[in-house]
Structure 1
Amino acid sequence: MIKLLLFFSTFTFINVFSQSKKQIDSISNLPMTYIQTNLKTVIPQLRKNALDAKKSRNLKAEAKTYASLSLAFYYNGDYDENIKYSLKSIEIFEKLNDLENVSSVYGEMGFRLKATNIRDAEKYMMKGLKIAEKANFTKPLLSIYNNYGVIKNNLNQKDSALIYFHKGLEIKTKSNDSVGIPYSLNNIGEAYLQQKKFDLAKQYFDKAMAQRVALKDDYGIADNFAYNGDLFLAMKNYPLAIQNFEKSVKLAEKYKITNLLRHDYGMLSQAYELNQNLPKALEYFKKSQALKDQIINKETYDKMAELQMKFDTVQKEKEILKQKNQEKKRLNTIKILSILFVSLIIISFLIYRTLFLKNKQQKQEYELTTAISKIETQNKLQEQRLSISRDLHDNIGAQLTFIISSVETLKQAFNIKDEKINSKLSSISTFTKDTITELRDTIWAMNHSEIDFNEIRSRILNFVEKAQKSNDFINIIFERENALDSLKFTSVEGMNIYRITQEAVNNAMKYSEAKNINLTAKTIDNQIEIKITDDGKGFDTEEIELGNGIRNMQKRASELNADFEINSEKGNGTQIILRIPKV
């Protein structure tokens, strides 16, 4: 009974813990657009989530929450807190060896420093860029290329800026990053605006606005109204500039987008002044200054908010203690439901296991039947091969031997003085002996389903030995790599390799007038390479028509799926190369 209670207590704890972890992970992954448009509520929410993640030792969620907090403080105009939480996030990601997120946070931190410390901005951005490019992290590069272009633009490196803006747009388009594409389009437009290429700038701003309207991204729409305001101000079309800035202000005030409001107020002050409306210019100048003062005094407010959050945490802990008593009452119900649930899982598992074992047995029986059938077929084929080879040996072999014996008897029984007849009889005898040799080679191949290279080598050596006896003036050498001996071929493949080698050596002995014939076999680039080289008189491959012997070698090479090559020059001997794919 005690064991059962422990089991259900553990089960309940795991459920509660998994729900808490899911909530922490969810808050740590809040979308950027949500953070931008809910700054007032999202900052306390993220701070609490960071504490919860730290308590539960969920390091990844803690680091992600710090990264989101740094973004929220940046859009809220609190740049010191932005840097503080960025560095906290990087420290944890580095401990986790999560280089993808390290590169992303470095890139974001560099981008946010652009207005206050451009050199540090470039340094941090370059750190993030190097890590992401080295490991080919697509996700961080979606923003880093674009943001690094902004840094280059601020450093007055206009050409470099455009290169990185276009890199950013290209990778975002490939990744179908619908949220990020407008940022790249706006940055390219701003670069053209600074070059006073107003038509090109407007094209990119319009594309960005269209995408943000389609996404219903209010922050992005506010941002694009500000870009259009900058464009019309540069074009000295002050009424249109004022109209766009005021549209941007309306949305920025609605969502409390502090850094965008600061920009809009300042630009509206300039636009009204240039449009000869000094009262309005002064009004927006005062608003801009008030916002700066608000940002400066924000540290005190944030400390108060943090204390309030701690207080709320203590209160919630008390609430949790109260709820524990209520949870005890529900424990019996949870136990019963848990027993039913576990029983259902065990029964389901047993049914599944029974079906699985039955299917496995049927599969094994089928595989065994198939294997037996295959073995029987192979045995029948082997018996047929052996029967044919016996018939060849006993019938045709005996008949050929009879022909040789008859020819020798004729020569001895009759004193034949006619040289032509003697020569013809000798030719018949030699041809018949060669035929017997060929027949024995064929029988040898038929008696094997597989032939290893060592057996092929033995046949070739036997042939070479006989060839040297017939011509003492030719030196024949056969060299091969020992590793080849274990390679196996089908009987047809083995016979083809042997016949090609045999034909090449025969041709060299008959026609080349060579003193040395070298045979080599080795492996090169996953191929078996066999070379037959002689130092004979050679021939011009363009002038001489190839005979049946060479055509047969080419056909056999084709059956092996091998490369067949003949190299020869007059006076420089001949080389035949066979390259067989190594299986």
Structure 2
Amino acid sequence: MPANRYHILLLFLLSGTCMFSQSDSLKTAQLLDSALMYADKSSYYLDKVEQIEQKNKQKLPTLSAIWVLRAKYELRRGNPDEASKWVAAGKIKFKEHPQLQSYFYSLEGSIYAVRKEFDQAINSYRTALRKYDAYGMKRDAAYVKNNIANIFFNLNDFESAYGYAKASFEEVYRLNDTVYYPQIAAILAISEAKTNQLDSAEKHAELAISDGTKYRVPLAVIIGKYALGDIHSQKKEWEKARNYYAEVVTRSEQLRLVQYEIYGRIGLLSCNVALQLFDSAIEEGEQVLELNDRLNMHFADYTVYQQLSEAYNAVGKNEKAFLYLRKANVMYREYSSVENKKIIQELLARYEAEKREKDLSQKELELSRAIIWILVLAFILALLIVGILWLRKRTSNRLKTIQLESERNQLRAFVEGEERERERLAADIHDGIAGTLTGLSLQMQQLKSLEELETVIQNLQAARNEVRLISKNILPFNLKEEGWKTSFQRFIETVQSPVFTVFFIADFNESQLNNQRGIVVYRILQELIQNTLKHANASECELMMTEEDNRIYIQYSDNGKGTTQAELEKGNGWQSICTRLAAIEGTIAFPENPLGGFKIDLSLPKFKIVL
């Protein structure tokens, strides 16, 4: 007996089952199933279907589902020509609705497969797959791949059948399609059995049976049992295989699934031949041929002819054996045509190449879009970062400005407070102590005749002069009455002597200093001149005050022994100068004095701050 027996299994899934979830399309499916099971009442059920169709003429999704079901009904009855009429009408009717039209291309492929026009079937399936891919209809694409696997079963190309069955199962299992993944798991198990992947085949067969039972999909259980029969046939465990095939026949008869009853009986035929139960084999084979004729289904004829030829030969009926052998050889050449397989493989390869090219283009488009989005987001992010940094810098600058203004206000308040305190002290000394000393002096002058009081009078006069000098130093002038230049010139006169000369040049708008700032400048210059007198051992100093643009410039120098900035900063007088200058936003520089001695340049803004 040959090692390879050709078992023809056909399980075409008709895409668009999700269309049948609506009440009218679901009712149509039930009515057509009843028409198949109860042929004597088919007219009644078909009239009901006609009524539903008329009611839904304007509802295109429901109408397309009904037409698909009608074509499927005719195909199951063994009338592919009638099914083709429904398909042709559907392709025209739903031309403007590609998603609905795609179901008719898929069904057209199944019709061609029934007619054994496999290259045409593949063309129709390719068209359906393109439309499914375009609209992301992965479930329906998986059904078509299962149908392609069935075509390869018919061509005995089990390696190709396995590839498509596996791809179909993985997709419907991922989608948790509990109606069809158990059935396709059984188809995958059969392809694995044919390619000697027996462990994996058994696992998928058991999955088909268990989940078919769980989700009430009896067809999955039937095909799963058939797969187990094939697995044990591959192992040459004929009795076990025979039991599984017998169970397929029993379950199919109970559900009136004649097509699967045929497959079960073919399995029994093969097992009986292997067990040399030739009479039983002949009985099963002849019954299969009778059922095939009744349903006009001849997919499995090759296997039946081949097995019957062997059985009749074994029982000595050589004429019948030769007849069936000749029929088997004719069908073998038809199914196993190398050219036929080559055409189909080329068509599928072309589809796969087109799909890969389309997928690549889609990925390139998605990548381009992703890059654009990344660039846009990066630009937005950059703007946000720049905006945040700008706001932070602006806030920081505002805080610094506020802090600086606060410090300046504090300095101004300090200087103003100091000047007010000086005014108060000067007034108190002038009005109080000085007046008292003057009164005492006048009283004692009346006693001049008393020689002992002369010395006291002189001392009191000296005290009065000293109080006047102190008062003058505390509040040296009145800006409103005298003006800045006059007041400062009076100060210079008090410090000049035969051994110390002050050169004073003033070329600026005096009104710039006839305010509180003038007092600050006066105190700074007073401090500089007094430092020269005390520490520099100088004979002269030079003071030049000019204005340019928006600033007043003060240049001070002496011919003394000179000093450094570091030495200046040690003294309290220098700290007083810096504090006062900061209050009026002034600056300090220490240029080199070519004649030796000390030199300092000061500058301050005009009218920027009015104290």
TM (norm. structure 2) is 0.43
Structure scoring higher RCO (CA < 8 A, sep ≥ 6) equals: 2
TM (norm. structure 1) is 0.45
In our comparison, the structure showing a higher alpha carbon Rg is 2
